[in-house]
């Protein structure tokens, strides 16, 4: 595995690659969820490139940019064990100049995650587009846990005519059902135990749909009962375009949950 830190190094490497490239953009603090993306990319491509970059433009004032977990040495070892070919680890000054051409996310980026974090998805799309232009991947791999982000990246690729396949990958969970997240390290033992109510509520929602209960308000009410005692930021039932539904549409529905545990926000969802 070769570690690259500059634009010039990455561009030089990319010129020499004529076969398929699988790309996994990350913010580091790699866990089994990331590893599953890397393994899938390794199985489906000749060359695998991973980036680690904690992107400042997607953090709002007062968010956890400075506290975001950074484990560079451990991440390097994980990438090496997963047979990554190239690891791109740029500095902020490498990726951004003082004055930038900006990317504007569409209006639907201001619901759900974007409602409480206005401008967050502008920053996400900005850095992903930069990375896509540098890496020029054949396939790029993203987890379904960040469902709204995934949907907007798919739209960006379509709207800007990028020749990239976006591969959506299922959520990877701990053995007890908690969705893998770099922010799980912030949880106290008590909070972590309580956080299991999130995945339990989604399993219950899935059971209801399996029994042909498709009414959204009924499903939400049941989920709230399961998550009793939690600080629920939102429960949303939307279609793939993130439009609210009153009835579940099979093969076109995502149930999303965000709950807070102190200063930590946990996301989870169920695709139906």
Structure-token match 């399993």, residue found: 203
Tokens of 98: 């003082």
Q: Which helix (H) or strand (E) holds 131?
A: helix 120-135
CATH code of the domain covering residue 11: 3.40.50.620
- Structure-derived torsion over alpha carbons of residues 135, 139, 140, 142, reported in degrees to the nearest 10: -170
CATH code of the domain covering residue 195: 3.30.1300.10
Tell me if 214 sits within 8 A of 247, measured CB to CB.
yes
Burial (CB < 10 A; 0-12, 13-18, 19+), residue 141, is: buried
Binding residues for ATP: 27-34, 143-146, 172, 180-183
Binding residues for beta-alanine: 58
Burial (CB < 10 A; 0-12, 13-18, 19+), residue 183, is: middle
Residue 177 maps to a domain: no
Tell me if 231 sits within 8 A of 260, measured CB to CB.
yes
Tell me if 198 sits within 8 A of 230, measured CB to CB.
yes
Q: Look at residue 229 and give its three-state secondary structure.
A: coil
Query: Same domain, yes or no, for 158 and 254?
Result: no
Residue 75 maps to a domain: yes
Active-site position among 22, 23, 34, 82? 34
Binding residues for (R)-pantoate: 58, 149
Query: Same domain, yes or no, for 138 and 72?
Result: yes
Residue 174 maps to a domain: no
**CB count in 10 Å sphere of residue 93:** 8
Convert the pLDDT of each residue in 203-217 to its tens digit: 999 999 999 999 999
34 part of the active site: yes
Instruction: Give the chain's mean pLDDT.
Output: 95
Residue 175 maps to a domain: no
Domain boundary (134, 169, 204) is at 169
Count Cα atoms within 13 angstroms, Cβ side, for 111: 16
- Cα separation, 25 vs 49, in Å, equals 8
**What letters, b where the CB count within 10 A reaches 16 and e where it falls short, cover 71-92?**
beeebbebbeebebbbbbbbee
Tell me if 47 sits within 8 A of 19, measured CB to CB.
yes
Classify the C-alpha dihedral 21-25-69-150 as positive or negative. negative
Tell me if 114 sits within 8 A of 106, measured CB to CB.
no
User: 59 CB contacts (<8 Å, ≥6 apart)?
Assistant: 65, 68, 120, 123
Residue 99 maps to a domain: yes
Query: Same domain, yes or no, for 164 and 200?
Result: no
- pLDDT per position in the chain (272 positions), as tens? 999 999 999 999 999 999 999 999 999 999 999 999 999 999 999 999 999 999 999 998 878 788 788 899 999 999 999 999 999 999 999 999 999 999 999 988 989 999 988 899 999 999 999 999 999 999 999 999 999 999 999 999 999 999 999 999 999 999 999 999 988 988 999 999 999 999 999 999 999 999 999 999 999 999 999 999 999 999 999 999 999 999 999 999 999 999 999 989 999 999 99
Binding residues: 27-34, 58, 143-146, 149, 172, 180-183
The residues with which 169 forms a beta bridge, in sequence order, are: 143
Residue 176 maps to a domain: no
Convert the pLDDT of each residue in 133-168 to its tens digit: 999 999 999 999 999 999 999 999 999 999 999 999
State the total domains in the chain. Answer: 2
155 is in which domain, residue-wise? Answer: 2-169
Tokens of 110: 């201001």
Query: Same domain, yes or no, for 63 and 144?
Result: yes
Tell me, rounded to whole angstroms, the distance of Cα 194 from its chain centroid. Answer: 23
């Amino acid at each position: 595995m070769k570690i690259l830190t500059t634009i010039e190094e990455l561009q030089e490497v990319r010129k020499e690659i004529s076969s398929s490239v699988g790309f996994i953009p990350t913010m580091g603090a790699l866990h089994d969820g990331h590893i599953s993306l890397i393994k899938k990319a390794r199985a489906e491509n000749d060359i695998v490139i991973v980036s680690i970059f904690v992107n400042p433009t997607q953090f709002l004032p007062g968010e956890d940019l400075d506290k975001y977990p950074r484990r560079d040495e451990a991440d390097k070892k994980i990438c090496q064990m997963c047979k990554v070919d190239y690891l791109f680890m740029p500095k902020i000054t490498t990726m951004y100049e003082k004055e930038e051409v900006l990317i504007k996310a569409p209006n639907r980026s201001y619901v759900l995650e974007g409602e409480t974090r206005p401008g967050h998805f502008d920053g996400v799309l900005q850095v992903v587009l930069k990375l896509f232009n540098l890496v020029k991947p054949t396939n790029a791999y993203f987890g379904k846990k960040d469902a709204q982000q995934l949907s907007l990246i798919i739209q960006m690729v379509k709207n800007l005519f990028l020749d990239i396949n976006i591969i959506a990958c299922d959520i990877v969970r701990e053995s007890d059902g908690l969705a893998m997240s770099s922010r799980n390290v912030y949880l106290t033992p008590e909070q972590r135990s309580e956080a299991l109510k999130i995945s339990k509520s989604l399993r219950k929602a899935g059971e209801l749909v399996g029994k042909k209960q498709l009414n959204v308000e009924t499903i939400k009410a049941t989920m709230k009962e399961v998550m009793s005692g939690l600080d629920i930021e939102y429960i949303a039932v939307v279609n793939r375009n993130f439009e609210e539904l009153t009835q579940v549409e099979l093969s076109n529905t995502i149930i999303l949950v965000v709950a807070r545990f102190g200063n930590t926000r946990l996301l989870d969802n169920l695709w139906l």
